Amino acid sequence: MGLRLFLKGFLTYGVRALRGKALALVLMGAPAWAEPVTVLAFGDSLTQGYGLPAEDGFVPKLQDWLVAHGDEVTLINGGVSGDTTAGGAARVEWSLTPEVDAMIVALGGNDVLRGIAPEIARTNLTSILEVAASRDLPVLLVGLPAPGNYGAQYKAAFDAIYPDLAEQFDVLYLQSFFTGLGEGQPSELQEFFQADGIHPNAEGVTQIVEGMGPIVQELIGEIE
């Protein structure tokens, strides 16, 4: 009888103690467990990982970086090689599947390569952000500054799209997909690119992820 009473008292106290500790963790702001989140990386060949083994692409490398820094996250590769902002606007509705908690938008490079008018790219990116806003999804908008090939006026109009829309929709903003490569001239950065001079090589992707990782962590922090 004594042993039975002892065990009964121990179990009762133990359950209460565990409940108390869990409550204390909540009150202290420290989660007792972490729920993994899902982020859609929505872009073109830069996102897709063109010319690289799958494990060296942008999305796997970014996920590895985030996990190594303590984030429980699954990244979906929504990169389509050759895609423009128009293509993104056409597929965003079905790309945002129910499990997606946040989105990285990195489109515009192919618009520049094709000389698409900045106002058209702006309209398409606006459509993408409107869909995300309608679903209350946090967004990181990643810019891709235009080169000067089409003149200063085109460059100024295109470059302005990203900060303008980031402010309009109150989303996170990164000035350039290539921020992690530094501020050097393109000719000085070729060691980070494949032979086409457009797509990063494995080392380039590593540097890009190092530059983008912290703001993606901010994006994850906005998920409710």
* Given 83, 111, 159, 199, the catalytic residue: 199
Residue among 44, 45, 71, 101 flagged as catalytic: 45
Pairwise CA distance, residues 174 & 141, whole Å = 6
Q: Quick check: 176 and 138 in contact, CB under 8 A? A: no
Q: How far apart are CA 193 and CA 128, in angstroms?
A: 29
Task: Indicate if 199 belongs to the active site.
Answer: yes
CA 25 → CA 11, 22, 33, 51, 175, distances in Å?
Answer: 21, 5, 10, 47, 38
CB-CB contact of 146 with 112 (8 Å): yes
- C-alpha torsion angle, residues 123, 220, 101, 63 (rounded to 10): 100
Say how far apart CA 140 and CA 170 lie, in whole Å.
10
HSE of 7 in the Cβ direction (CA atoms, 13 Å)? 4
Is 71 a catalytic site residue?
no
Active-site hit among 136, 170, 187, 196: 196
Query: Which positions are annotated as active-site residues?
Result: 45, 196, 199
